[in-house]
């Protein structure tokens, strides 16, 4: 994702949530100090079908009727990019994870274990997670940490696009050349989330709608929803 393309969307997210750009930049710089350049060849997804796994009830609830089908769809993908705790549920079910995307807010121990196993972790820094970045990133195997930011990228810290762990995983797979994105464990209408999480899910939905138009691909997870999704901008050239 070219930052100049991402920047107008980022500005809208900052304004909508009241987030502070300078805080994001300080977090980015802290992450840069704690990490090394990441070899993107370790995550090449060229011409692959990538399952982008969210941590919705259809994946995390053992009794959810759709869970077996969701797990099977992940197994049949060429690669699996898992958002946050989705990595735990997939691994517990015997589904391998090829990349974990996380801002370290729930299961940093899993991120540490994955890097020690030689699995890439896209560790994200934003304005209010600097303590977690400073506590956990030094514990990871540095070779397997891909540092990311939602602000302007600097040094070896990259900005693939995206806002939540889930949609950022999709943008990352896109940047890495994925031929098809397959979404598992995504539940935009989860009634159990708090208002802030619901607002973030709404933005994730908007960003995926933007991404599918940029890719000229239709994501099944958005079927039946597109007519209600507010575009990220009135300028369709974005």
**What torsion, rounded to 10 degrees, do the Cα atoms 57, 59, 65, 69 define?**
150
In angstroms, rounded to a whole number, what is the distance separating the alpha carbons of residues 26 and 195?
27
Task: Dump strand ranges (E) for the chain.
Answer: 49-53, 79-83, 99-102, 121-125, 145-149, 180-184
DSSP state, 137? Answer: G
Those residues whose C-beta lies under 8 Å from the C-beta of residue 90, and which sit 6 or more positions away, are 53, 59, 71, 74, 80, 82, 96, 97
Q: Give backbone dihedrals phi and psi of 119, rounded to 5 degrees, phi first.
A: -110, 125
In angstroms, rounded to a whole number, what is the distance separating the alpha carbons of residues 81 and 20?
28
Write out the CATH class of domain 3-228.
alpha beta
The full set of domain ranges for the chain reads: 3-228
pLDDT in tens, the chain (238 residues): 899 999 999 999 999 999 999 999 999 999 999 999 999 999 999 999 999 999 999 999 999 999 999 999 999 999 999 999 999 999 999 999 999 999 999 999 999 999 999 999 999 999 999 999 999 999 999 999 999 999 999 999 999 999 999 999 999 999 999 999 999 999 999 888 999 999 999 999 999 999 999 999 999 999 999 999 999 975 544 4
Would you give the end-to-end CA distance of the chain in angstroms?
Answer: 12
DSSP string, 3-45: HHHHHHHHHHHHHHHT--HHHHHHHHHHHHHH-----GGGG--
State the pLDDT at residue 220. Answer: 96
- Residue 109's SS3 state is helix
CA distances from 152 to 61, 143, 157 (A): 37, 23, 9
In angstroms, rounded to a whole number, what is the distance separating the alpha carbons of residues 199 and 194?
9
Whose structure tokens read 């974990």? Answer: 100
CA-closest candidate to residue 5, choices 147, 171, 125: 171
Whose structure tokens read 């994730």? Answer: 204
CA distances from 171 to 22, 57, 134, 224 (A): 23, 22, 25, 22
Whose structure tokens read 């735990």? Answer: 88
CA distances from 231 to 4, 9, 182, 203 (A): 18, 10, 21, 10
In angstroms, rounded to a whole number, what is the distance separating the alpha carbons of residues 43 and 41?
5
């Amino acid at each position: 994702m070219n930052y100049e393309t991402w920047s107008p969307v980022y500005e809208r997210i900052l304004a909508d949530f009241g987030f502070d750009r300078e805080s994001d930049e300080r977090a980015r710089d802290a992450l840069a100090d704690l990490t090394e350049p990441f070899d993107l060849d370790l995550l090449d997804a060229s011409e692959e079908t990538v399952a982008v796994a969210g941590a919705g009830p259809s994946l995390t609830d053992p009794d959810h009727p759709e869970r077996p089908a969701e797990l099977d769809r992940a197994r049949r993908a060429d690669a699996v990019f898992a958002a946050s705790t989705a990595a735990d549920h997939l691994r517990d079910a015997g589904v391998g994870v090829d990349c974990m995307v996380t801002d370290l807010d729930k299961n940093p121990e899993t991120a540490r274990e994955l890097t020690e196993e030689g699995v890439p972790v896209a560790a994200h820094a934003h304005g209010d997670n600097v303590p977690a970045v400073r506590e956990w990133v030094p514990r990871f195997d540095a070779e397997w940490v891909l540092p990311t930011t939602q602000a302007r990228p600097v040094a070896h810290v990259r900005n693939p696009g995206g806002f939540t762990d889930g949609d950022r995983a999709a943008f990352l797979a896109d940047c890495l050349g994925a031929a098809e994105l397959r979404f598992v464990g995504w539940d935009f209408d989860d009634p159990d989330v708090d208002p802030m999480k619901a607002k973030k899910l709404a933005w994730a939905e908007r960003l995926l709608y933007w991404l599918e138009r940029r890719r000229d691909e239709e994501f099944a997870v958005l079927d039946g929803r597109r007519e209600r999704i507010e575009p990220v901008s009135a300028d369709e050239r974005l």
